């Protein structure tokens, strides 16, 4: 009987391990619950537009900076383009930003997923964020230093403790000039990164509540002076941005 018990236990362990390997290679994170579309910015407006339209039906439109090239079309895809620039050289260039000032974009304590389809050959820049370091209420951001994309969620627990988790593309460099679709999702106990349909990274642990009064920006930071706070401007193309919640 003891021998059988050991066999059953060993078999159960193998099954758990197998399930774990399946999860690592799956296209949907375990426990993913951010399935309700909050915004869907297709970025297919014509050249010279100053409004980024939300096609989700929720009317969460953005203001497009004058330095962003809109209406670019290639192989049937229409996208926004950010030309090359020194991301940290004065003066600040807020005209390089898309700004969306809407409080419903705060994750709060909800499950929250951001999907971006982009391409770049550059090794710098913040792609999308709401809030930034030092701002009350926490923040999230995507950045791509050295072609290595990372997603950070930083909030506070119910007792005020700072909770932060980050996932990175690691050895997968995403500044190869090819289109990539990346989804970063925050749930109650983890942050995950899915690259081109495959779950690649998981960081276990909570990230608390994130709620700030700063507009969501695409293309860099808003509150920066390029002296004491760098603006980390992005350069490359973005096809669409979608945000989903629970």
- The Cα 217–Cα 17 span in angstroms is 41
pLDDT tops 60 at residue 226:
yes
pLDDT more than 90, % of the chain: 84
* Predicted local distance difference test score (pLDDT) of residue 32: 57
57-88 pLDDT, tens per residue? Answer: 999 999 999 999 999 999 999 999 999 999 89
Q: At 110, is the secondary structure helix, strand, or coil?
A: coil
* Predicted local distance difference test score (pLDDT) of residue 33: 75
Burial of 129-167, coded b for 16+ CB within 10 Å and e otherwise, reads: bbbbeeeebbbbbbbbeebbbbbbbbbbeeeeeebbbbb
Q: Are 192 and 207 in contact (CB under 8 A)?
A: no
Q: For 56-92, what is the HEC assignment? A: CCCCCCEEECCCCEEEEEECCEEEEEECCCCCCCCCC
Higher pLDDT, 203 or 27: 203
First to last CA, the chain: 47
* 244 strand-pairing partners: 37, 113
Higher pLDDT, 99 or 32: 99
pTM, two decimals, is 0.87
């Amino acid at each position: 009987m003891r021998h059988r018990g050991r066999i059953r236990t060993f078999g159960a362990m193998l099954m758990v391990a197998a399930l774990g390997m399946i999860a690592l290679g799956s296209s949907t994170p375990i426990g993913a619950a951010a399935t309700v579309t909050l915004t869907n910015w297709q970025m297919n407006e014509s050249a010279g537009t100053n409004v980024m339209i939300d096609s989700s039906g929720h009317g969460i439109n953005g203001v497009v900076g004058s330095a962003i090239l809109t209406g670019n079309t290639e192989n049937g895809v229409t996208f926004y383009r950010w030309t090359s620039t020194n991301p940290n050289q004065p003066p600040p260039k807020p005209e390089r930003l898309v700004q969306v000032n809407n409080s419903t974009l705060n994750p709060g304590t909800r499950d929250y997923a951001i999907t971006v389809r982009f391409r770049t050959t550059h090794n710098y820049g913040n792609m999308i964020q709401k809030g930034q370091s030092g701002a009350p209420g926490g923040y999230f951001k995507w950045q791509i230093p050295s072609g290595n994309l990372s997603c950070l969620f930083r909030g506070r627990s119910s007792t005020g403790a700072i909770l932060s988790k980050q996932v990175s593309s690691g050895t997968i460099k995403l500044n190869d000039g090819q289109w990539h679709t990346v989804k970063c999702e925050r749930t109650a106990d983890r942050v995950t990164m899915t690259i081109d349909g495959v779950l690649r990274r998981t960081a276990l642990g909570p990230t608390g509540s994130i709620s700030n009064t700063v507009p969501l920006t695409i293309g860099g930071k808003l509150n920066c002076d390029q002296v004491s706070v760098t603006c980390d401007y992005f350069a490359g193309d973005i096809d669409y941005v979608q945000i989903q919640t629970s």
